[in-house]
Amino acid sequence: MSAVPPLSESNRRFMSGNEAIARGAWEAGCNLAAAYPGTPSTEILEYAAHYPEMYTEWSVNEKVSLEVAIGASLAGSRALCAMKHVGLNVASDALMSQTLAGVGAGLVIAVADDVGLSSSQNEQDSRFWGRFAHVPVLEPADTQEAYEFVRRGFELSEQFNTPVILRLTTRICHVKGVVNLGQRQEISRNEGFVKDPARLIMTPGVAKKRLPMMFERDEEVQRHSEASELNFIQAGSDRRVGFVTSGPTYMHVREAFPDAPLIKLGLSYPVPFDRIRQLADQVDQLVVVEEVEPLLETELKAAGIELLGKEILPRIGELSPNVLRPAIAGLLGEEVVEEAPVKPPVEIKPPAPRIDPATGINVFPRPPTMCVACPHLGIYYCLSKIRNTTISGDIGCYTLGAGHPWNALDTTICMGASMGIAHGLDKGRVEADKDKKVIAVIGDSTFMHMGMQGLLDITYNKGNVTILLLDNRAVGMTGGQDNPASGRDIHGEEAMQVDFRKLCEALGVKPERIHEVNPYELPTLFTALRQEVKVPEPSVIITNQPCVLVDHYGAQPALTVDDDKCTGCGNCLDIGCPAILVTRRETVVKPNGSEKELAFVKIDSGACTGCDLCPKTCGPDAIVPLANYVRQ
């Protein structure tokens, strides 16, 4: 792990929001940061790990990461927990109790919402958790505020004895800006853990007594929000429309309507109703600009404040200036410039070929796919060849197995759900599916995150599911972070390495039903699958090759295609490897009069890692080692 770069003389640095949050936590005297990787929040912990004064760890899931942070807070250390929006669903059990118990040292929960669904299965709005859990919510509008608000979050947490949510969006996490930095402030809390059973033993009797205290705290934070400099009104000369903004929407409104009055909510919950009423009295019409749910809008209308919101603004995606301008123009009766419509979700299906205008070649476009030589390629190739199955998928790189050319997943819901859903597909099957085999596909990190409980449920309740446990020794989808399967910690140092065979046996799978296979050995993998789906009890097939993007992946000599031997059968394309490219297509007439399209291919030898998957699909043995081939 590289050292922290020194400050320049001006103490200014160009950094992303995620990097700024890590820096702000360090400067605030934070001693512990824990997280589970998930875009757009992943880099917060990766940057935090550069600061030796902070203990950092990849936890096995978000609930554990929050519990670790809670423990550190109660021990007297400021603590940061980071996750993406769906991660707070996992961590909510701990959150909802700790908001009653309170904190020790400051506790900040950085939650990154994926507005626009760039890398997530939903677009949920984490601001709801502030209301649900009765905790303050801070919303930075740019990188500088992301840095500053972490520090303010620790102060608020300690002032009001509560966790604080720092609500981020992809726009904050990944956009870079200039940040004015300071130095680390060591926070002295020498009392350590203070025994307080009447606060920390969350039995019904204790929790019942804490409820009135939580409501009193709500009122205190409400008064603070009304007076806080984080919530302020900006005057404007064009009073036809005023805006209520928070987070990145403040920047969007300022860009689109620089002369309009607005209120910026940095501490967006509790809502400063009186401040917003002041703005409402200054303008002809008031519009709430919020991403993504009409949360503030509903609360303000309930408080008797007249305004508009989702009646004129979309309920999905970012509210950027090109979205705001036509909406407000329509409100004011001005000419509306037509904007491009929001594209519907992309249906997962094979894309149509297209003609390359430069070469005239019929080009087969590449949909989102896995990496060259990914160990998951052979798995989905085999799954696509097995008939009469229902396949339950999970969250990770292997979710792409739902796409072309494999079309080998039938469900994907949330982290770890492949196990429980597969069990339900088995136990809930109707007569029409009585002979179908049920398969669950899950990655190593996801299995440890939330899948183990599902496997235990399958074995305990005598389910009949074949589990493919894809151990690529990394959290591949979010950038190859280490986990207990990799044998290394966040600093790259040696750590305990989980033994999945022993773990699955401990969870109730019979030893003879656990198989470890090399996913590049297609015949062995295919045979194991064919055999295990026929067995009427739980079985686990563990694959054992690392992600191709991690530093300990061992590439082999590249391959190429012998043009003289290639028959255009296209079998190698079923692997789905991006290094295999179609050079031309031909249509031939078979003896029975039907037509068959041939696809002649080449291999991008610069990208090929010699995994040896595609030669196993090639009947004419046209795929050969590049080093042994001399092109005629």
Q: Give 377-389 pLDDT, tens digit per residue.
A: 999 999 999 989 9
Residue 345 lies in a domain: no
Sign, CA torsion 86/118/231/181: positive
Residue 358 lies in a domain: no
Mark whether 85 and 206 lie in a shared domain: yes
DSSP letter for 343, please.
P
pLDDT of residue 361: 53
Please state which of the ranges 406-415, 503-512, 590-599, 608-617 shows the lowest mean pLDDT.
Answer: 590-599
- What is the distance between the alpha carbons of residues 234 and 7, in angstroms, rounded to a whole number? 33
Query: Cα separations (Å) of 577 from 405, 439, 614, 622, 625?
Result: 10, 23, 8, 16, 17
Mark whether 397 and 505 lie in a shared domain: yes
pLDDT bin (cut points 50, 70, 90) of residue 1 is very low
Mark whether 173 and 47 lie in a shared domain: yes
The model's pLDDT over 330-376, given as tens digits with 9 standing for 90+, comes to: 999 888 776 555 455 545 455 555 555 555 555 555 567 889 999 99
Mark whether 27 and 153 lie in a shared domain: yes
Asked if residue 297 has pLDDT above 50, the reply is yes
Q: Which residues pair with 55 in a beta bridge?
A: 32
CA contacts within 13 A on the Cβ side of 366: 14
pLDDT bin (cut points 50, 70, 90) of residue 113 is very high
Contacts of 356 (CB under 8 A, 6+ apart): 362, 363
* Closest to 3 measured CA to CA, from 57, 53, 52, 55: 52
Please state which of the ranges 63-67, 115-119, 573-577 shows the lowest mean pLDDT.
Answer: 115-119
Domain boundary among 278, 307, 332: 332
pLDDT of residue 2: 41
The mean per-residue pLDDT over the stretch 9-20 comes to: 88
For the chain, how many structural domains are there in total? 4
Q: Helix or strand or coil: residue 277?
A: helix
Stated pTM of the model: 0.86
Tell me which H or E stretch contains 325: helix 321-332
pLDDT bin (cut points 50, 70, 90) of residue 454 is very high
Strands (E), 10-125: 12-16, 32-35, 55-58, 79-84, 107-113
Mark whether 205 and 285 lie in a shared domain: no
Mark whether 420 and 469 lie in a shared domain: yes
Range(s) of the domain holding residue 580: 559-628
What percentage of the chain exceeds 90 in pLDDT? 75
Please state which of the ranges 172-181, 245-254, 487-496 shows the lowest mean pLDDT.
Answer: 487-496
Mark whether 393 and 284 lie in a shared domain: no
**Packing angle of the helix pair 273-282, 204-227 (nearest 10 deg):** 30
Decide if 526 contacts 382 (C-beta within 8 A): yes
Q: Which residues pair with 356 in a beta bridge?
A: none
Asked if residue 8 has pLDDT above 60, the reply is no
Residue 346 lies in a domain: no
pLDDT bin (cut points 50, 70, 90) of residue 456 is very high
440: CATH: 3.40.50.970
Residue 338 lies in a domain: no
Mark whether 86 and 202 lie in a shared domain: yes
Residue 38 lies in a domain: yes
For 58, phi then psi, to 5°, come to -85, 115
Mark whether 173 and 131 lie in a shared domain: yes
Q: Which residue has the higher pLDDT, 202 or 512?
A: 512
CA contacts within 13 A on the Cβ side of 494: 0
* Closest to 541 measured CA to CA, from 529, 555, 557: 529
pLDDT bin (cut points 50, 70, 90) of residue 23 is very high
Instruction: Tokens for 566, please give them.
Output: 């290639």
Known binding-site residue numbers for [4Fe-4S] cluster? 566, 569, 572, 577, 608, 611, 614, 618
The mean per-residue pLDDT over the stretch 532-542 comes to: 96
Known binding-site residue numbers? 566, 569, 572, 577, 608, 611, 614, 618
What is the residue-averaged pLDDT of the chain?
A: 90
Task: State the Rg of the chain over Cα.
Answer: 28
- Peptide bond before 204: cis, by omega within 30 degrees of 0? no
Residue 365 lies in a domain: no
Contacts of 432 (CB under 8 A, 6+ apart): none
pLDDT of residue 122: 87
Between CA 351 and CA 359, with CA 356 as vertex, the angle to 5 degrees is 150
The model's pLDDT over 402-432, given as tens digits with 9 standing for 90+, comes to: 888 899 999 999 888 999 999 999 999 888 8
Asked if residue 72 has pLDDT above 80, the reply is yes
What percentage of the chain exceeds 70 in pLDDT? 93
Residue 360 CB neighbour total at 10 angstroms: 8
Mark whether 165 and 223 lie in a shared domain: yes
Contacts of 346 (CB under 8 A, 6+ apart): none
Decide if 370 contacts 408 (C-beta within 8 A): no
Helices (H), 462-616: 500-506, 522-532
- What is the distance between the alpha carbons of residues 70 and 93, in angstroms, rounded to a whole number? 12
Look-up: residue for tokens 């796919």?
369
Q: Which residues pair with 241 in a beta bridge?
A: 285
The mean per-residue pLDDT over the stretch 495-513 comes to: 95
* Closest to 282 measured CA to CA, from 223, 226, 238: 238
Helices (H), 469-563: 500-506, 522-532
Asked if residue 230 has pLDDT above 80, the reply is yes
The model's pLDDT over 78-105, given as tens digits with 9 standing for 90+, comes to: 999 999 999 999 999 999 999 999 999 9
Decide if 427 contacts 475 (C-beta within 8 A): no
